[in-house]
Structure 1
């Protein structure tokens, strides 16, 4: 959608209220649990689940299609089947291109929806038409907050405080605790710069304006980049504490793939810096940043090897 200087185009009519996009990759038990946490609730809105299988070769797709064959027939679940894994962003974009809902939810396959989370989030976004993306409170299985659910953009300064450990030493400092906003009350609701892709509810009108996920990112960083573009288009990004999910973090990764995921994590930092910050800093700062990113990558691989 092209936006003129006179303001945003008027909202269009949609077939559904919410499309929930879940990407499965060899995580049968977790994905099934996620889907059931949605289906087991009586939602007062029209929704669908779009399950994208990223070329799983462990039989998980076949089992999921069997488990939810009734829901597939009645239209509550649609399957998109890939023969090649081109990454998380690519898989979500496939589903996004086929949805016709007022809101879209990116939902990780290792999460569980708690109570009326979805209804609460949609109602909150309905009250404020300026909200482009909303994230809820994301809890780990032990009940602690998944700190990634509310963040600042990884500027050079913010990243430096995190890499040097200053953010952990002074979590209540507004200066040093900016990476995960640890100085803010997790039980309050407020505008943030970034939310996590494990649960990201986005207004479709916003997506039409800012575009799809950047497929240059394979698995990490695409959510931060999306939030950056959403904020740049003058939409709000909100952390909403009155709705919750449980995130079985890391459950969707197996041990053999961990080295690749470590690489993709730091590669995402490199891509994001080049895309949004490189032109704003001197060549010296850029070189130092590159050394920091790939130095941390090497250190992480070294530690992971001995584990």
Structure 2
């Protein structure tokens, strides 16, 4: 987990991991030049949990390089790259592991979320056609919603051409084969996950959405919305430059037409509507 300040969100994320993860794991926090106070609090967390470690970059080297530091430091067969502005739902990692273990050609698996573009549930877009940040139903916790997703899921694990980078479980051997994230092309992120997904599929690997795992996404505490929009535009342009043969609109259509995800969104919406009526 790369960390650059926003310590309250980071602590909420860590607390959720400790609470909702029921398989053995090591959590690596990559401190990317955060403030003295953030650094102190990260070290304090690690001192209380022997399975949590902090790698201190010393200065801010940018999201993508920081992510690669953490990925390269792992020796596990499977590695999750997780945004620090997330809250993981009950049994999230067990569900994602089940998906990737049952798909030997899978290089990456993504979770569902309230705000993760095509992996969002129960709605994709708001009234203006922009990506929706779905609020939890009144009185619900992230774990409540995660349990509902798990209960309603058919565990179809749909194959997809792209995964949102907020929470991805990778097969380490696949990352090593293609060279991890592109640090030069995407130094601060935004587009780096699309580039990696394309490189993985070109290398013969598959990607899947774990339609039984749910991770809540607060949405980038490190950048404001205007700055984020600027970074998205730059990342999109870089992806087009690197992969001129890729029909990105076609990939988006595949994501939008995934029947298992469409059916699950409908089931979630129906369940919540009945509950609130």
CA RMSD after TM alignment = 2.6
Partner of 1:83: 58
Higher gyration radius (CA): 1
* Displacement after TM superposition at 1:128 (Å): 1.4
Partner of 1:275: 242
Say yes or no: does 1:49 pair with 2:17. no
CA distance in 2, matches of 1:120, 1:93: 24
Runs of 4 or more, structure 1, over 4 Å off, are 165-168
Kindly indicate whether the alpha-carbon contact (under 8 Å) linking 2:46 and 2:53 is maintained by their aligned counterparts in 1: no
Partner of 1:220: 190
Q: Structure 2 vs 1, CA of residues 78 and 246 (structure 1 numbering), >3 Å: closer, same or farther?
A: same
Task: Pick the aligned partner of 1:35 from 1, 9, 14.
Answer: 14
Kindly indicate whether the alpha-carbon contact (under 8 Å) linking 2:191 and 2:239 is maintained by their aligned counterparts in 1: yes
Task: Pick the aligned partner of 1:149 from 116, 119, 124.
Answer: 119
Partner of 1:95: 70
* Displacement after TM superposition at 1:259 (Å): 4.8
* Displacement after TM superposition at 1:100 (Å): 0.3
Task: Pick the aligned partner of 1:130 from 82, 85, 105.
Answer: 105
CA distance in 2, matches of 1:193, 1:42: 27
CA distance in 2, matches of 1:64, 1:83: 14
1:48-197 aligned at under 5 Å gives the runs: 48-57=26-35, 59-71=37-49, 74=50, 76-140=51-115, 146-149=116-119, 189-197=157-165
Partner of 1:207: 175
Kindly indicate whether the alpha-carbon contact (under 8 Å) linking 2:162 and 2:198 is maintained by their aligned counterparts in 1: yes
Q: Structure 2 vs 1, CA of residues 119 and 263 (structure 1 numbering), >3 Å: closer, same or farther?
A: same
Say yes or no: does 1:263 pair with 2:236. no
Deviations along 1:10-39, one digit per CA (max 9) or x if unpaired, are: xxxxxxxxxxxx111111111111111111
Partner of 1:162: none
* Displacement after TM superposition at 1:260 (Å): 4.2
Q: Structure 2 vs 1, CA of residues 56 and 118 (structure 1 numbering), >3 Å: closer, same or farther?
A: same
Deviations along 1:278-297, one digit per CA (max 9) or x if unpaired, are: x789xxxxxxxxxxxxxxxx
Kindly indicate whether the alpha-carbon contact (under 8 Å) linking 2:20 and 2:89 is maintained by their aligned counterparts in 1: no
Which structure exhibits the higher relative contact order, with contacts defined as CA atoms closer than 8 Å and separated by 6 or more residues?
A: 2
CA distance in 2, matches of 1:263, 1:167: 15
Deviations along 1:129-177, one digit per CA (max 9) or x if unpaired, are: 111100011124xxxxx32437xxxxxxxxxxxxxx9999xxxxxxxxx
CA distance in 1, matches of 2:210, 2:195: 20
Partner of 1:15: none
Q: Structure 2 vs 1, CA of residues 57 and 148 (structure 1 numbering), >3 Å: closer, same or farther?
A: farther
CA distance in 2, matches of 1:149, 1:58: 35
Query: How many residues were matched structurally?
Result: 218
Unaligned runs of 5+ in 1: 1-21, 141-145, 151-164, 169-185, 282-307
Kindly indicate whether the alpha-carbon contact (under 8 Å) linking 1:109 and 1:252 is maintained by their aligned counterparts in 2: no
* Displacement after TM superposition at 1:61 (Å): 1.8
